[in-house]
Structures are given as C-alpha cells and as structure tokens.
Structure 1
Amino acid sequence: MNGSGAAFVVSAALALHALTPCASVGAGETARQWEPVEWRYENPSWEGNPFDLIAKAAFRHTRDGDTIDTQLFHAGGAMWVLRFTGTKPGRWEFTTACGDSNLDGLKGEVTIEPNPGAAGFMTAFGSKWGRLGRDEAFVPQYVSYCSPADYHDKAGKIDADIETWFEEHGFNGFHTFVGMAWFDIGKGSGNYGDIPSGDPNPDPRTFEALELLIGKAHRAGGAVHIWAWGDEQRKMTPFRWGVNGRVDRRLQRYICARLGPLPAWSMGYGFDLQEWAGREHLRLWHEHMHANMGWFHFLGARAPDLEQIYDGLDYSSYQQHRPTYDTYVEAIERRHPGKPSFLEDRFRVRVNVYPEKDYTPDMTRRGLWDSTMAGGAGNIWAYLIDPPADGSSAVYPNKEQIRTYSRFWKNRFRKEMVRNNRRTDGVCLEVPGRFCVFYTQDAEELRMDLAGLQGSLRAVAVDARAEYREIPLSDLKAESGQVFKAPRRSDWAVAVGDPHVQGGR
C-alpha cells in the first residue's frame, strides 16, 4: 500500500485456476507470460454506483518501455480488482489514476517469466487467424455452446465438454451467446423487456461464467467466440437503453476491464444486425472498446451476403447459407482482403427447420475442409438433432471424421500458406517451395505438380471420410505429373514436404 485509503488484499493462494482464470500477486511476485494475474483493493468509502467509477492503470515494461493501459473493475461489495497479462518477459510496473483518492496513485509490479509453447492472445497474420506466443496460424472451428447461466460455477461441466468437443471431436473453441445475460444471468434467452431496470448494471455472475469458460478453453489450447447481442425482432439488443448510450458504454468498459486481460476470446456484435445496427453504431462501439482494452481482441459484426455494414472492424464477418469452397475464397480474398474472415452463421444439422440452410454431417465434414483449403475462414457448427435442453450442440454421429480433420491439420496449417490450385486437379495450399497440402472430393486419384519443391518429399495421404490413418507415399519426385492413386473412392488429403518452414515454431 502506498499510503492511500485503499487496502491491498493478497490471496494466500497464488493459483486460483479452479475458480478464476487468474492468480493474485503481491510485491516481488512473479507470473508467467500469457497467464493473467490480479491485484485486489478494498475501497469501502465509495458511495456512488461502483460500476461508474473509472480507475485506470498504466503498466510499463521497465526495460523496453512498452506500455499497457487498462482499468480496475468492481468485483462486489467494497472490492475492486486490477487484472493484467504480461505480453513479454521482464518486470512490469504500474500506477493507477482515479477520481476517488482511495484508488488513485496505487503502485505495484510483477515480473513476468517466459512461458515457451503457451498460446497468447489471438492475432492476425494477414487474412489468417493466429495466436501470439506459439506464432502459429489456426482456423476457428467452433462448436455452438450454451449460455453463461448453464456453465456458471460449473468447472466440471466445462472440463467434460472440453474433453467431448476438443479431444473427441477436434473443434478448437466454443461459441456462446450472452444477450440480456449481460444484465441478468438468468435472462440469456430473454429480451430487454425482461430487464426491469432502466439503468441496469453488468451482472458479475455472467462475467464469472465467461472468465471460467475462457480460462479453461485457453489452457486447453482453444478459444471462445462471444455473441454480444441478437436481433431487434426478438428485442435482444441494447436498443431500449440506447445503442452506445450510458448503459451500453458502462457495460463496454466493464467487458474491457474484466475480460480484456484474458487471452483467447473474440466478439461478434450479434446476429441479424441489419435490423438495428448501422455503420456509425459499429464504428463507435469498435473505437470505444479498443480505447478501453489494453490487449487486442478481434471485434466484428455479421453482415448479410458477402458485404459489410462497416469495413473498419477487425475481421470480416458474413452470413452465408451453405458456403462452398469458392464462397470461402471470395470471402477471404476478393471481398475484404487483408483481414481474417468468419462465416458467422451457425451451420446446424437439423431436419426441415430451414431446408435451404440446414446441414448434414457430410456437409459439416466438407465445410471444415473447404473453409481451411480456401485459406482459413472461421465457422460455428452445431448438431441439433435431439440436442441438450440448454440449446448447445449434441454429439456428432461422425465425430471421428471431424477428429480426422483436426488431427490432419495439427502443425500443418501454416501462416505462410497460399492457395496454388495450378498444382493440381483438386485444390492446393502451399508454403512456397517447401510444403503442399492437396485435397479432392469423391475421387480415386489426385494429380499433383511437385515441380520446385525443395527438401524432403515425405508424403502421406489421409481419407477424410474415415478415422485418422496416414498412408505413406513413396517414389514422389519434385516434378509435374505426379499421381496419387487412392485405394478407394473418397475425399482425400495429401501432405507433401516439410510444414516447418525456416523461422516457424
């Protein structure tokens, strides 16, 4: 404590992963890179709305001078919390600034230790999604998950669901909808008429649930994609209180302070946004969120067809029904190039709910491969035949095919990859001169031009319709006219060369 009226509270436990995503630290403590830590302060004298008290914290890396600006958040009662994640090793110092003297001028420090191999915050490698820390690209293939009320204070449920969806299926993230649960965790499926207050505060229980889900997904190597709002037809928007108005801005600041320091999440503004959200709404939301977050998180907004409501967001988001390989290519490179793309409809296996858009298990499998071979567009998936009562996805009957997709692409989807379909009668992604992935559907052979490939020509073929098994291919030459003759007609992927390009990790 530096002589102010705030009491600095240090938890006796430095690892609180079972309950929260953070560790509490005191003077002289250390933490690991990409893992959140926090300081807690008691401030019993504040008499106003605690969610309206703005207390800023400026972190500075003592060696390199890098800075991260964030805010404290109210955690109930007289408690305020400062949360931080170190983006580089070394000593970080902070000082707070606040109109309330009890939270003004607080100082502290933490030494961040290296954490090799850990995934950091999401980032962009051109049009590809990526992770800092591992310096790797990935394709968001997320499963539709339940609402915060269904996983609040349920660590065991989340652990079991990570086993089901990440390990047994091979998806790499959860998609969760919040809506009115921002203000009342029990109203996640409700509308703004279900919130009695004309000036509601954020519900800390919802944030406890999101923290738990994000933290566990991150430690399992995955991510969480949040839909903030829904459509105006069902009144699942902040429209009642004013878009970017007082209530909305208070919520945005709280999201930034409480969730901003946590790696591995992104946010879509909602669905059917053409009903209520215009260009200026999205511009102001995006600017305010990033002005209050000390760490980058992808913020986007789904638009109909292959257009954008506002081009200034962090990723391009589209509503498409049953996109093909060519649709994915157009979304990634021809419409709004240079930033990652998300086909942000939910691709759901259903029977005659919306016949023009419902999926089948086979369409799901091919969608995974098409979106990846096109260059890496994100998707949300769900199997909704006899689903759980909470609205999340049921287990896929072809989960071994989804797992085959995931196993094939582990350590093979590279940020350096480009499309080069001139090499094949199927489709091809290539790390130029080093590594190629070829893919074809419903075929018995695949023609490949391997001219110019350098180094190892180690090659394997995998049947995308079967459980994962690599078929070694020999006698391939770095020449045109190479042919893979499959043992049966199916969808086939062939990897040739070394995916670990110089400088990659």
Structure 2
Amino acid sequence: MEALSKNKRSIFVGFSELCHRTVFEKRMILLMNFLVYTVLSSCPVLDLGGIGIACGAQFGSSVTKRGRLRVAKYAGATAALTRAQENADVAGTDDTFTLRGSVGSKEPQSRSGGTLWERRTNSRQWERTVISLKNPSYEGNPFELDFEVNFTHLSSGLVLTLPGYFDGGDTWRVGFMPTKVGEWQWVTNSSDPDLQDKWGTIIASPANRHGMLAGHAPHPEKWTFADGTPVVLIGVFVQVMLDDATDAEFEAMADFMAAHNLTMANFRLSENDRAFSNVAERHMNLALWRRLEARMEILAARNIAVTVMLFTDDSGKPSFSGRSAAEKLLIRYCVARLVGFPGVIFNSGIDISEYRDNGWVDWYGEQVRSLDPYGHPVSSRRGGGSGEHVMAGQTYNSVGDRNSSMSGLLAAYARGDALPAANDDNWSEDLDGINGHTPDDIRRAAWKAVVAGGIGFSVRHNTLYCPSQISECDRYFPIISVDKELDAATWLAMINPFVQQRLGKTYNEMHPAHELIDTSGGKYALADASRTRILCLLLGRDDTWDPGDGDAITLELDHVGGQFTASWFDPRSGTERTAGRVTGGAARQLHPPDDQDWILLLERLSDDGDDGGVDDDGDGDSSGGDDGGDRREGRLLRYGDCAECRRDE
C-alpha cells in the first residue's frame, strides 16, 4: 500500500442511523464499529463487500465534531481505491455523493473526515487554478497555520505537494498548476480540523500556453518553455508589486511587453518590509499580495515571466534577522502565492553579502526547493556586493555584470554546469556616471547575450524612481511609462523572433564556438555540434559597449565541410540580405554591409561539393563583390509563432 496519506477518504458509520435499522442491522453496525476501532490498526487492507478499508500507522478512529465515528481513512492512489472510484459517480452538483469508501452516505462526509469540496473541469495544463477553502473557527496567527495540499495525477501517479496560504477573513487558498493533462485529485493536510481532509478533483485540458520556464532536458543550460520553445529572457526592471499604477495601466504595460517580445519583469519583493503589514506580529500586507497575484495572472496570460528578488539593500534591506520567524514566513508565503505560475524565477536579492552570510544563501535555496514541487529556477546573485558565493543546489546561474562584457557573459553561461544563466544586475539606458549606456549599447549587449549562449538580462531606467513608501529608490521604469521610455524596445523586439524562427529548436543545441572565427576585432560565434547553423556577431575591438568597425570576418572552416547559405541580419531595421553561399574546408572572409554591428547566419545546405569560395550576393559571382543581393524584410514575430519549436508529445 503506497502513499497512504494521499487523497484520503473516510468511512463513517452514523450512530443516528441506528434508530432506523432492524435489530440485526443494529447489531451488525455496532459489531463493525467495534472491529474497526480495536482491530484494524494492525491490518493492511480489509475488503468488506468490495470496499477497501486500509489501516495501519496512518489510520485510526476518532469522533468528529458532528458526532460521527471516523472509522478509517485510506489513500486514493491504490489499485483498490482506483477501482472503487471508477465505479463511483461523484458530482458536486448532486445532493447524493458516492465517495470512495463511503457507506451509502446521502450527504458529504463530515468536514474533519474527508469532505468533497469541489470538482472542476475547466482547468488547463500549465495554467494556475486557485482552490479556496473556509476556516471560520481558527484562532491564532492565520499566516502561520500549517496548510498544504497534495495533488495526485490519477493516470501517472505523480504527486505534487503545494503550500497553501491565508488570504484574509476565513479564507485559505492554494494555487495549483497542472503539469499533465487529465484528472487530478487533491486532498488537504493541516493541523486545523477545518482545513484537514477536504478533497476534490480537477480535470486539466491540453495547454494553450508555452508552459513552465526553466532549463529543461535535454538541454538544461538553455532557457526554454515546457513545450520546447527556446526563449531569450529579456527583462524590464519594473516594480510589479509596489508600483501604484491602475489595473488598466498595468495591463497596457503588459500588452506593450508582449508586443515587443519582452519576456520578463524583474523586481524586488520585500523593500522596506512592505510585504508585511506588521513585521512584529508577522502579518502580511494582503492588499499588496493580492495586487501582485492579479498582475502575475496578467503576465502569465502573455507568457511573460518574473524574476523575484527577495530582498534589496541599503536602507531598504530587511529589518528582521536571518532565519527568523518573520523571514521564514516571508519565504513560505512568497512561494505559496507564486509557485502556481509557470514563469517564476526565485532569487535571494541584491548585495546579499552585506546583510546575510554564505550559509544563509544555501539555506534560502533549501527553503524554496523544499516548498516548490515544480522546481522553478532559484539562485542568489553573485558579484560585487552580492559576494562570490555560489548557492549550493542552485538551479540557475545568477550573476551581476553591469557592463555586458563578452568574457563575463561567457563565464555566466559556463557550458557544462547544466544550468541556464541570467545577468541579474540590470543594464541602464542613457545613464551617465555608472555605465554610459545608450539604447544602441543595450541592443549590442542583447545580441552578445544571444551569442554567449542565451543569457537572460534586464534593462532598467536611467533615473531613480520610488514607488510609494520605498526609501531605497532605484531605477525602476514607472509602469505608466515603459512604452514611452524604453528606447531600445523596437530593437529588443527582434531578438526572440529571430531566435525562434531562424534558429528554432537548433538554438537549444547551440553553444559558443569561437574556434570557428578569427575573434580579433570583436567577432563571436555560436554553433551546434553538427554545424548546421553558425551564428556570428560582428562588433568592434572593445569587449563592452562597441559600435562595430566594418572589418571583415574570417570564418575558420578548415575542419567544417559542406555548403552554407549566408545571410546578414540588420539588428537595427530587422531586414535581412543574402551573403551568398559559403563552402567549408578552408578559411573564408566576408565583409559586413557597413561599419555597424551585424549578425551573420550560416545555414548548412549539403555536405558535398565546393564552389570555390564565397558568392557574396547570390548572383553566382564569388569574386567578393556585393551588388546588394536579395533583401528580405525581417518580420517581428511573436514567439508563439515558432511551430518548429514544439516538442513531440
């Protein structure tokens, strides 16, 4: 008998029913109660007329609030119970409930012994479904009440245990994201009787979204959605929780992000302890958490993820000590409210070494992983004030590099550690005195992140902004003005469509391959092992903010056979022009159209033949001249348009 604590049901024998029975029936009922109460604790499974009754350490008898004797509880994952369920007609709209293991009860089981709470049929795979339960009698700090829900996928046996959370009044909730299509059964677990042994079912239909964001097998070092779509995490630094924009203003910002293929919002959660309404009493600020949850729904509907930095630094850092009751509550509450969303990245916060030690960093990761059955990415930013400690067991690599050096991005990618990477120190537009970035710099840095293997990054504002009641102002974009003030948006909008349309699933197999080019003069390459696609970025001679110099690129193809079509992609206009055909087996040179930054894409045609070198413009002339060749307008595709990217089910 496995998973005896999962999907519990109870059998009740009501003493009030005895008056309606014959003498023989009364005696039989009393005898059954006696047997169950005194004997069943030592038996494995007792079958009474086809009804399986399991017993053992997890099972026993107790008198419920309503005076019924709870005889036994048993798990729904066993074969006997599955068989019983297949013969049961459970419908929440009917006043007659045939529960697995019930004895002809004409009303729901008592609340402390397995109440059928609800049956849902309108859920979808990879979308958050919220289950709400009532507990009017609890006394104490409701935020600290232990409450979790076990979800079992009936056909596979997969069990996910999610933390629940208090949401005001007499309401507790849990946010569940089905990872598989089909029927799920859930059952609650709590020390409070009003939240114990509630159960229900959820039927999840096939997904119409990309699914969970993470580093997925077989290429865990790449950011991908669950359906196999590759994604470059392009974030905007915006205060999702604390900015007082209206719902309509936030939705307009989310629409702008989706239209420009911006795939992530980056923010800090507990600034000046604002996540709490009262730290000393350990009460959370429900108004802000509800607002965050509503905004997360808006982002999730548009396949936009969030990076949640738990803490900020300086005057906004936490007032409470590490591993305190307040901190444990904050971490648990954050995971409980957000874990059911598909695109969530958990991070300890910025400059963490200034107020927490290395042991705490590892502890924080353990806390998140123990609460999150889905395995959302979790890490702690390192570099600068964040220190250099690498979180034990981290599931993505978080670094801070304000200057987008290619060497730094390549180190973050660190092929071989089987982790995706993100630069979690935001790059700023038009900011003098720190980086001197311009929108052109942001564009070039973004393509560096692509060619470095797919490093996530975020862009922040150029002036300090303080959402309400925050003392540690930072360079957040105001929600109401992202569309007006993110100057590089049009250029950033081209990156994910290019990756998903022109590279497709092959991008998941592509890694830095600078051995394929002469890297002098700021030239970088990315390729798959079979060399079916080779992507090159042409810049100037600097490794930071570099406008390009127009020098030729030398392709070191001595050990690469076959023929390739070559195309120049303009990252400013989105247009593409042919560079003709390139034949491997020797070093080849190509000249960019001008002295700006350019993207060169080589796509394999075949493995035989040699046309003698390079036909620059596709006109049959390999002498090196370029008469303009063929121009194609680049299309700004949404990443949902990448049909090739879907994994075979």
TM-score range, shorter chain: 0.7 to 0.9
Corresponding residue number in structure 2 for 1:344: 424
Q: TM-score, normalised by structure 1?
A: 0.84
Classify the secondary structure of the residue corresponding to 2:294: helix
Map Cα deviations across residues 226-266 of structure 1 (whole Å, 9 max, x no partner).
111112x32512xx332121111122222222211111011
Give the distance between the partners of 1:385 and 1:273, measured in 2 at CA. Answer: 23
- Residue from 266, 276, 295 that aligns with 1:175: 266
1:320 aligned partner: 401
Contact 2:229 2:645 in 1 (8 A): no
List gaps (5 residues or longer) in structure 1: 11-25, 186-194
AA aligned opposite 1:368: A
* In 1: Cα distance, 2:456 partner to 2:581 partner: 36
Q: Which residue of 1 aligns with 2:414?
A: 333
Which region of structure 1 is more displaced relative to structure 2, 398-407 or 218-227?
A: 398-407
**Residue type matched to 1:297 in 2?**
H
Please say which of residues 478-487 and 65-74 is displaced more in the overlay. 478-487
Cα distance 1:502–1:455, how it changes in 2: closer, same or farther (>3 A)?
farther
Of 66, 83, 93, the residue aligned with 2:185 is: 93
Tell me, yes or no, if the aligned pair for 1:4 and 1:101 is still in contact at 8 Å.
yes
Q: Pick from 519, 533, 538 the counterpart of residue 435 of structure 1.
A: 533
CA distance in 2, matches of 1:437, 1:500: 21
Q: What is the CA-CA distance between 1:377 and the residue it aligns to?
A: 1.8
The aligned counterpart of 2:365 is: 286
2:582 match: 476
Of 307, 321, 325, 1:225 maps to 307
Aligned pairs for 1:141-156 (under 5 A) are 141-150=234-243, 154-156=246-248
2:163 aligns with: 71
After superposition, residues 179-194 of structure 1 pair within 5 angstroms as 179-180=270-271, 183-184=274-275
| Superposition map of 1:50-65 within 5 A | 50-65=142-157
- 1:214 is matched with 296
Alignment of 1:10-49 (within 5 A): 26-49=118-141
Q: 1:359 to 1:164 in 2, by over 3 A?
A: same
- C-alpha distance in structure 1 between counterparts of 2:125 and 2:113, whole Å: 28
1:16 aligns with none
2:595 paired residue among 489, 493, 500: 489
Larger RCO (alpha carbons 8 Å, 6+ apart): 1
Return the offset for 1:84: 0.9
| Aligned residue type for 1:332 | Y
Corresponding residue for residue 233 of structure 2 = 140
Q: Does 1:360 align with 2:438?
A: yes
Q: In 2, distance between residues paired with 1:157 and 1:329?
A: 37
Larger Rg, first or second structure (1 or 2): 2
Give the distance between the partners of 2:330 and 2:467, measured in 1 at CA.
29
Q: How has the CA–CA distance of structure 1 residues 196 and 67 changed in structure 2, closer, same or farther, with 3 Å as cutoff? A: closer
Match status 1:421 vs 2:514: yes
Q: Which moved more, 1:54-63 or 1:155-164?
A: 155-164
Distance 2:109 2:247 in 1: 37
8 Å Cα contact 2:213/2:343 also seen in 1: yes
- Amino acid paired to 2:491: Q
Change (3 A) 1:72 1:501: closer
Q: 2 CA distance for matches of 1:132 and 1:2?
A: 41
Q: How far apart in 1 are the matches of 2:159 and 2:244?
A: 35
Kept in 1: contact 2:552–2:589 (CA 8 A)? yes
Separation in structure 2 between the aligned mates of residue 54 and residue 386 of structure 1, nearest angstrom: 40
**Whole-Å separation in 2 of the counterparts to 1:349 and 1:104:** 52
Identify the residue that residue 324 of structure 2 maps to in structure 1. 245
Q: Which residue of 1 aligns with 2:388?
A: 307
Q: In 2, Cα distance between the equivalents of 1:485 and 1:90?
A: 55
User: Structure 2 vs 1, CA of residues 351 and 259 (structure 1 numbering), >3 Å: closer, same or farther?
Assistant: closer
Letter of the structure 1 residue corresponding to residue 291 of structure 2: A
- Partners of 1:35 and 1:201 lie apart in 2 by 28
Q: Which residue of 1 aligns with 2:573?
A: 467
Distance 1:367 1:361 in 2: 10
Matches of 2:114 and 2:395, distance apart in 1: 39
Distance in 1 between the 2:275 and 2:114 partners? 30
Larger mean Cα displacement after TM superposition, 121-130 or 424-433: 121-130
Q: Structure 2: which amino acid aligns with 1:59? A: F
Distance 1:490 1:388 in 2: 37
CA 208–353 in structure 1, closer or farther in 2 if over 3 Å, else same:
farther
How far off is 1:309 after superposition? 4.9
User: Aligned runs of 1:449-464 on 2, under 5 Å?
Assistant: 449=556, 457-464=564-571
How far is 1:51 from its partner?
0.7
Is the deviation greater in 219-228 or in 455-464? 455-464
Tell me if the contact between 2:265 and 2:306 (Cα under 8 Å) persists in the aligned partners.
yes
> Cα distance 1:452–1:9, how it changes in 2: closer, same or farther (>3 A)?
farther
Which 5+ residue runs of structure 2 have no aligned equivalent? 1-107, 469-474, 540-547, 605-641
Distance 1:38 1:408 in 2: 36
Counterpart residue number, 1:397:
487
Distance 2:580 2:142 in 1: 68
Is 1:3 the counterpart of 2:83? The answer is no
- 2:453 is equivalent to residue 375 of structure 1: yes
Superposed counterparts of 1:492-503, under 5 Å:
492-497=598-603
CA contact (8 A) 2:442 2:488 kept: no
Matched letter for residue 324 of structure 2: G
- Over aligned residue pairs, what C-alpha RMSD do you find? 3.2
TM-score by length of 2: 0.66
Q: Structure 2 matches for 1:114-125, cutoff 5 A?
A: 114-115=206-207, 118-124=210-216
For residue 404 of structure 1, report the CA deviation from its aligned partner. 3.3
2:267 match: secondary structure: strand
Q: Equivalents in 2 of 1:263, 1:473: separation in Å?
A: 40
Does the CA-based 8 Å contact 1:182-1:203 persist in structure 2? no
C-alpha change, 1:105 and 1:438, in structure 2 (3 Å) is same
Match of 1:14 in 2: none
Q: Does the C-alpha gap of structure 1 residues 181 and 91 become closer, same or farther in structure 2, counting only changes over 3 Å? A: farther
What amino acid maps onto 1:489 in structure 2? D
Which stretch shifts more, 173-182 or 31-40?
173-182
In the alignment, what sits opposite 2:80? none
User: How far apart, in 2, do the equivalents of 1:196 and 1:274 lie?
Assistant: 26
Residue pair 2:231, 2:500 contacting (<8 A) in 1 also: no
Distance in structure 1 (CA, Å) of the matches to 2:493 and 2:230 = 19
Q: Percent identity?
A: 17
